[in-house]
Structure 1
Amino acid sequence: MVTLSDLPDSVLLEVFSYLPVRDRIRISRVCHHWKRLVDDRWLWRHVDLTLYTMRPKVLWHLLRRYMASRLQSLRLGGYLFSGSQAPQLSPALMRALGQKCPNLKRLCLHVADLTIVPITSLPCTLQTLELHSCEISMSWLIDKQDPTVLPLLECIVLDRVPAFYDDHLQGLKRFRALRSLVLGGTYRVTETGLDASLQEMNYLQRLEVLGCTLSADSTFLAISRHLRDIRKIRVSARGLSAPGLAVLEGMPTLESLCLLGPLVTPEMPSPEEILATCRTMPKLRVLELQGLGWEGQEAERILCKGLPHCMVIVRPSPKESMDWWM
């Protein structure tokens, strides 16, 4: 009979990678062989600690003993709503991540209080920064800071960050490597603020505006004015009209366009009107329409026939709104 011990190390490592961090550490006590596997740097490239509200002492131990130079992506969270006595993320811990984890490229913070954590303390190696349901200070991106802060940052995801507003958005222009911006539920961002910010960030290649108070028409107008080289657009269809969509006609580099419902109004463009606009986009390869209330296969048939070189996806709204940015 084949047992776990008979499996190749590569298979065991793959199995161990699905275990929560706490269980990985526990199985290292089973035998010397498993201890050696748990120490394998491959197993600690991507670490998810959102299942736990860890004391700082435990986080420091993981950082020194297991993660260090192996770590490439880290998910932390669960601190904001755990009570006033809960441990909090600190500037010292963020600076330690930068010093001890030189290969850390992606940091995802969930439900965290960052009001005392300045952006200058984040690891300078980050290429992707995700904030989900986090609190930030009003001056987090506004104060004048060293232009070398996060010099490699290519993607920032702001999902339900209630304090984020126009001045914060303007502050993103300091990140000259930024190419991807996701705004999810940032209800304080205004149409004027978006337009002014995109004018300064005309190098963006991907923009997602989801679940905000901004209308799709105003978002598309700002994109057409300032982001002529954009490659991917994902926008909630709230306030979308045929004339509003038409401002995207002729976008020369757009490869993917996604419209998400479910807010449907009489002004919503028909499949034929969407087709007319998309035909003017020479590089469009993906058209995704979610939750627009179109039943049956007629809309998909019209779009597929009119866009033979494009992948057309027509489906209901996703069950999990937290998949917006994936």
Structure 2
Amino acid sequence: MLLRQYLGHGLRSLCLCGLLFSARGGTFLSEPWLQALACKCPRLSRLYLLNTDLRGLPSCCLLPPTLQVLELHNCELPPGFFTQNPSGTCEPDHHRAAAVSPKSPANKQLTASSPGITIQTLILDNVPSFTNQHLHSLSSWGQLARLELRDLTRMTAAGLRACAPPGLQALHHLRHLEICTIKRQQMAALGLGEGWAGLEGLGLGGREVGPGLLCLSRLPDLRRLRLCDCSLTEMMVLRSCRTLKELRTLEFRKVEFSTESGGEAEEGQEGGGEREEGEREERSDTDPVPNLRQSLVTLLPKCSVLFTECSVASVQG
């Protein structure tokens, strides 16, 4: 009924909520339904799945081949879900081919070998069954440029380290990576310690911020850095960013800055000028730590610094 009455040819983005935590249970994403979705919505480029049990689907190759963005929130996956053929193509089986009408314009697309997974952005948020093996299988995704990993309890630093180029399981096309862990101390970001050639954007959140800051000097191509949902000191930021001379954007989002009332961070202020005695540091919502911004301007002259929903907590020192 959903396909017949509400979804049409021009649909580009679709958000679906499953029954994973429902008392009814059951699976609503079946292979025939996905085939029909691909035929009815040939322009679908973004699929957002919430509370969805995908363990009844053997492979992500059954998803609409036009997808460019896939978001999985509170979902469950089967082993090998992200794996495609070594040749980089997704071969539909005879069931898939037989289910498509010969008169359908999508018939050739589904009965012939498809060009492989074309997803460019993959977002995984609280997917308990996601493992290092799932992560490694993404190396066959030739167009994956952005990967966001949030609260994945079974992913480790070793698993992430194996994905860094030029390894056999490397995510060669990846340009932006986000790692955020709120619920527990994963420290998966330590997997960046061996370096990651070609990584231009990095987001660190929650308990991944501290470990990730230790690895920034090993990311020579980094141009954009976002730190969120954490507590930081000015000294931590300045020490970690001193080597990022080519950084273009540094964003702090929902960060609580701890400043010592007895004195401000001195590192990185050379040439930036000191405040005159008695001068007060004026703060605003968009510039909660003016002294830090001044130091970063001197340290990283090519970088724009942004503060979003940040706060300051004074610590007696």
Do these two structures clear the TM 0.5 threshold for a shared fold by scoring above it? Answer: yes
Could you tell me which residue of structure 2 aligns to residue 59 of structure 1?
2
Matched to 2:81, the amino acid is W
Percent of aligned pairs with the same amino acid: 28
CA contact (8 A) 1:241 1:269 kept: no
Distance 2:297 2:218 in 1: 19
Per-residue CA deviations over 1:296-320 (Å, capped at 9, x if unaligned) read: 42223322343343211235569xx
Closer, same or farther: CA 196–312 of 1 in aligned 2, 3 Å: same
Could you tell me which residue of structure 2 aligns to residue 183 of structure 1?
149
Query: Partner of 2:8: helix, strand, or coil?
Result: helix
Aligned to 2:54, which of 114, 122, 141? 114
Q: Which has the higher strand share?
A: 2
Closer, same or farther: CA 191–271 of 1 in aligned 2, 3 Å: closer
Closer, same or farther: CA 77–68 of 1 in aligned 2, 3 Å: same
Per-residue CA deviations over 1:1-58 (Å, capped at 9, x if unaligned) read: xxxxxxxxxxxxxxxxxxxxxxxxxxxxxxxxxxxxxxxxxxxxxxxxxxxxxxxxx3
CA contact (8 A) 1:129 1:156 kept: yes
Matched, 1:215 2:202: no
Counting only pairs closer than 5 Å after superposition, residues 1-326 of structure 1 correspond to structure 2 as 58-62=1-5, 66-84=6-24, 88-118=28-58, 119-141=60-82, 147-149=88-90, 150-198=116-164, 199=167, 200-211=170-181, 213-215=185-187, 218-222=190-194, 224=195, 227-236=196-205, 238=207, 240=210, 244-248=214-218, 251-252=220-221, 254-262=222-230, 270-279=236-245, 282=246, 284-290=247-253, 291-294=255-258, 296-297=288-289, 298-316=291-309
Distance 2:258 2:308 in 1: 8
TM-score w.r.t. structure 1 length?
A: 0.67
TM-score w.r.t. structure 2 length?
A: 0.69
Closer, same or farther: CA 275–60 of 1 in aligned 2, 3 Å: closer
* Structure 2 unpaired stretches of 5+: 91-115, 260-287, 312-317
Deviation at 1:221, TM superposition (A): 1.1
CA contact (8 A) 1:142 1:167 kept: no
Matched to 2:214, the amino acid is G
Distance 1:112 1:167 in 2: 20
Distance 1:67 1:242 in 2: 42
Distance 2:120 2:78 in 1: 22
* Structure 1 unpaired stretches of 5+: 1-57, 319-326
Distance 1:136 1:194 in 2: 19
Q: Which has the higher helix share?
A: 1
Deviation at 1:169, TM superposition (A): 0.7
CA contact (8 A) 1:220 1:247 kept: no
